[in-house]
Structure 1
C-alpha cells in the first residue's frame, strides 16, 4: 500500500492538530498498523483491484496475500473464492455498506465496506473490514433447533396436560364395575406394577388415569406410551433415551427417554402386547433393577416410575406363540385386573351415553336429550367396540342430529334393529280411526312427558323449548 493511500485515510483536519512529524511517522508504519488491527482488512482501489490484505484477513479466510493481491474482486467472485464483493456497491453509493460473505470453505464473514476520501473529498479507496461469524451462524442454527425442540416438547406437555385434565373417575352403575373400582382403589395406594386387561375400547386408559389420580404420584403428569404406534426402529430411543452422538442423526445433547421423563410419576405402557421382543428384554431390566441404560451409554440410570401396562391380547397365548416373554409376564402380573366388556355391564350403558351426550352437547353448543326408549335400545345392543364405539356414536349423533330429542329411529339400523320405516310401521295411524289432531296431541303429550322426566321440571322444559308452562300442562293433560 502506498503512503498516499494511507494519508487519504487520515486527511489533516483543522480541528485535529497533529504532533510534529506524526503524519510521516504514521505513514511509514501504516502497514504495521493495519496488520495490528484485530479484524480482517481488505483494501481495494476504485476499479476493484486488491491493494492489500492484513494478517488477520489471511487468518480468517485461509487465503494468502499472493492469492488476492492485484486481483479484481469481481474475478474472485466469478472463481468462487467468495460470493460477495462490496467494492462496486461502495464506489457506486459513496457510503458504507455491510453484507455477509460466504467463502469457498463455508466460513461466514460480516463485511463492512467503507469509502476513503482524500483532502479534496474525492473517493480514492475502499477499505473492507471482515469479521468471522461462522460460530455465530452455528449458534443461531443450534438455537433454531433448540427452539423447535422446545416447541415440540411444549406440544407434548400440552397434550399430556389435556389427557391429565380428563376425568379420572370412571362412570359406572353396575355391580361388576363397583367391584373393579374397589380393587383399583386398593392398588392405587401402592407402587406395585399393574396389568390391565380388556377388549379394545373398554377404556383401559381411563382406568390407568384413575389409578394414577388416586396414587401418591398424582401431582405429576402421567406419561402414556402407545407401544403399538411407535416404530420398532424408534421405540428403544424413545423409551430409554440416548447419549450425544449415539447414532447418525442423534441430538448433540442426547435425549432422555420416557422412563427418565416419568421420574416420580407413572408411565402407562398401552398395548404392551405389541412391544418387540428386544424391547421386552430391556423392560424386564427396568422391572427387576429399577434402572435403564441409554443408547450409547455405559452407566445405568436409576429410574423412579410406577408402571401400569395394558393390553387387549391374551398374553398367555402370546407366550406360547413366542411373541411375549414369560419372565416379563410374571413381572407384570403382580396385580392384574380385567375390565369387563360393555355387553357384560349393561347397567353402565345409559349412564355412559348420557355422560358423552352432555360432554359433546356442551362442546357443540347444542340442547339434545335421549328419549327413554332410545336409552333402552342402546342397552340391548351388544357393543363389539365397547365404550369407544358408544362414545363415537354419541359424538356423531350430536354433530348430525337436528331437533331436541334422539329417538330410536335416529340410531344406526345395526343398533335399533329396524329397517327403513314403511307404511306398515304407521298402520295403526293410517287406519283413519283417529283424526290427525288427536294423533298429534298424543305425540306432543308423550314428548313433553319425556322431556319433563329428562330435565327434571316443567320450568326447565318451558325454558329450553320456548313454551309457556300453562301450555305444557294443557298439552300433557289433554286426552
Structure 2
C-alpha cells in the first residue's frame, strides 16, 4: 500500500468505522472499551461516554448487557459469536474477532453487533402460531373422528328404548340437556345422538372435557381472549369453544368438575346467551345448544359448596339418567357383537362369539359399564388366536365360577339331555356362525376341512329339531 494511501486511511479510520452499517465495539486485551461507532450507539441507546474506558465485565455486572465476548475471544484467539440481551430488552447477535499485529501477537478485539430483536419476536410469534395451529388441528381432528362415529346407540332393553324415545323428543328442541350416569355408560354417545337428531346436525358438535382442562386454561379455552390479553397470548386473539360452536352443539362432559369461577361464567351464557372474552370490553352473542353430562351427584356437590345451585337449576331443564350396564343385561350381547365387528375389522381378523360365551358375559355385572366391555373386547381381539371365542377364553373374573348363576353351562349341567345332543347343538351353532362369517358353505368346508354335505346335514338336523320343539305343546 502506498504511504500516502495508508496515511489517508489512518486519518479517516474513525469516519470509516462510523460509516459501517453494523455496530462496532473495540476493546483491548484487558476488556477496556476503546471505541464504539455511531451505529452501535443507535442500536443500543448507549452513548460513547457511557462505555468508553469501561471494563466489559463491569458493564455486565451493572446489567447494561448480559454478556461480553472479549474474555472468550482473548482466551480462544479466534472468532466467537453469541446472542446478547440489552437492558432495554433488545436482542443483538455479536461476532467478536481477534486483531493481530505484524508479529502475530493478539492486540485488540473488535465486536460487530446486529439487531435481531424483530427477528426474534417474529420467530416467537411463528412458534406460538404454530402451537395454536397444532392445537386447533388436534381439536378438529378429534371432532371429525367423533362426528364420523355412529350416532345411533346400540341397545335391546326396554329401559333404553324408553330413554331413546325421550332423547328423540328432546333432540327436536334447543333446550339444555343434562345427561347423568356412571362412568363408562356412554354419555358422549347419547350426546352425539341428540346432536345428530337435531336441526344442528349439519354442524360439528364441539366436545369439552371440563375435568381435563387445567384451571389456568379453562377460561381462555372456553371463552377465548382478545389480542395481547395476557403474556403469550396470540396477537390476533382466539375464539373460545362457545364461539366455535356457533349454530351447533357444545357438549360439556364431566361438568361436575368445572371450577366454581367458570360456573359463574357459564351461568351467564345460559341466562343471556353471551360470553365475554378475556381482555374484552363487549359481550359476544353465542348461538350454541348446550348438552352437559356428569357422573357426579350434583345435589351432594351443591351441599359441599362445589357446585352452584343456580347453575344446576339452569342445566336441569331436561335431565336423563343412563342406566348402568348391570341394569340392562339385554344390551350386553348386541353391544359385544358390535364391538367385536368393529375391532375384528380394525385388525383384519375374523372372530365371533359362541352363544354360550355371550350368555356368560351377560351374567357379569360390568362395573366399568360399556367402556369396560369395549376395552375388554378390544384387548381380546388383539390377543385371541382362532376364529371363535369360547367361554374358556374369558377370565375367571367374568365367568364368576364361584357363583352358580353365572356358570355359562348352568342350563346344560341341569341334565336331561345326552352329551351327544349337547355337542351336536354346539357343533351346529358353530357352523351357523361360520357360514354367516365367511359367506358360504363352500368357504366353511374348505377352511375347516369338512364335507359340504356334512355341514348341510348337521344344520338341517338342528333346524328340524328346533321346529319340533316349537311345535310341541
Q: Same fold (TM over 0.5)?
A: yes
Q: 2:193 aligns with which of 204, 210, 226?
A: 210
Question: Conserved in 2, the CA contact under 8 Å of 1:458 and 1:472?
Answer: no
Question: Conserved in 2, the CA contact under 8 Å of 1:356 and 1:391?
Answer: yes
Q: Residue 362 of structure 2 aligns with which residue?
A: 379
Matched, 1:306 2:289: yes
Distance 2:99 2:215 in 1: 65
Matched, 1:84 2:44: no
Q: Residue 113 of structure 2 aligns with which residue?
A: 130
Distance 2:54 2:304 in 1: 77
Q: 1:251 aligns with which of 233, 249, 268?
A: 233
Q: Cα distance 1:157–1:98, how it changes in 2: closer, same or farther (>3 A)? A: farther
**Alpha-carbon deviation of 1:124?**
12
User: How many matched pairs?
Assistant: 444
Distance 2:232 2:56 in 1: 41
Matched, 1:325 2:321: no
Distance 1:393 1:44 in 2: 73
Q: Residue 103 of structure 2 aligns with which residue?
A: none
- What is the alpha-carbon root mean square deviation over aligned residues? 4.7
Q: Residue 127 of structure 2 aligns with which residue?
A: 144
Distance 1:187 1:49 in 2: 81
- TM-score normalized by the length of structure 2: 0.74
Distance 1:167 1:417 in 2: 33
Q: 2:263 aligns with which of 264, 280, 298?
A: 280
**Alpha-carbon deviation of 1:87?**
11
Matched, 1:398 2:351: no
Q: Cα distance 1:75–1:92, how it changes in 2: closer, same or farther (>3 A)? A: farther
Q: Cα distance 1:311–1:322, how it changes in 2: closer, same or farther (>3 A)? A: same
Q: Cα distance 1:325–1:373, how it changes in 2: closer, same or farther (>3 A)? A: same
**Structural mapping, 1:257-268, within 5 Å:** 257-268=240-251
Matched, 1:229 2:207: no
Q: Cα distance 1:190–1:63, how it changes in 2: closer, same or farther (>3 A)? A: same
**Alpha-carbon deviation of 1:56?**
1.8
Question: Conserved in 2, the CA contact under 8 Å of 1:277 and 1:324?
Answer: yes
Question: Conserved in 2, the CA contact under 8 Å of 1:168 and 1:206?
Answer: yes
Question: Conserved in 2, the CA contact under 8 Å of 1:197 and 1:310?
Answer: yes
Distance 1:92 1:321 in 2: 70
The alignment partner of 1:347 has SS state of helix
Distance 2:109 2:309 in 1: 79
Question: Conserved in 2, the CA contact under 8 Å of 1:286 and 1:292?
Answer: yes
Matched, 1:357 2:340: yes
Question: Conserved in 1, the CA contact under 8 Å of 2:354 and 2:430?
Answer: no
Q: Residue 171 of structure 2 aligns with which residue?
A: 188
Q: Residue 16 of structure 1 aligns with which residue?
A: none
Consecutive unaligned residues of structure 2, counting only runs of 5 or more, are 101-105, 462-473
Question: Conserved in 1, the CA contact under 8 Å of 2:128 and 2:234?
Answer: no
Distance 2:116 2:259 in 1: 47
**Alpha-carbon deviation of 1:243?**
4.5
Q: 1:168 aligns with which of 144, 151, 154?
A: 151
Question: Conserved in 1, the CA contact under 8 Å of 2:31 and 2:57?
Answer: yes
**Alpha-carbon deviation of 1:137?**
1.9
**Alpha-carbon deviation of 1:393?**
2.3
Q: Cα distance 1:126–1:30, how it changes in 2: closer, same or farther (>3 A)? A: same
**Alpha-carbon deviation of 1:190?**
2.9
Q: Residue 449 of structure 1 aligns with which residue?
A: 431
Question: Conserved in 1, the CA contact under 8 Å of 2:179 and 2:320?
Answer: yes
Question: Conserved in 2, the CA contact under 8 Å of 1:309 and 1:332?
Answer: yes
Distance 1:52 1:268 in 2: 66
C-alpha distance after superposition, 1:82-126 (max 9, x if no partner):
43359969x988xxx784442564643345679999xxxxx9999
Q: Cα distance 1:143–1:49, how it changes in 2: closer, same or farther (>3 A)? A: same
Consecutive unaligned residues of structure 1, counting only runs of 5 or more, are 13-22, 118-122
**Alpha-carbon deviation of 1:229?**
3.4
Q: Residue 202 of structure 2 aligns with which residue?
A: 219
Q: Cα distance 1:276–1:46, how it changes in 2: closer, same or farther (>3 A)? A: closer
Question: Conserved in 2, the CA contact under 8 Å of 1:98 and 1:110?
Answer: no
Distance 1:398 1:364 in 2: 8
**Alpha-carbon deviation of 1:40?**
2.1
Q: Cα distance 1:39–1:288, how it changes in 2: closer, same or farther (>3 A)? A: same
Question: Conserved in 1, the CA contact under 8 Å of 2:73 and 2:98?
Answer: no
Question: Conserved in 1, the CA contact under 8 Å of 2:23 and 2:43?
Answer: yes
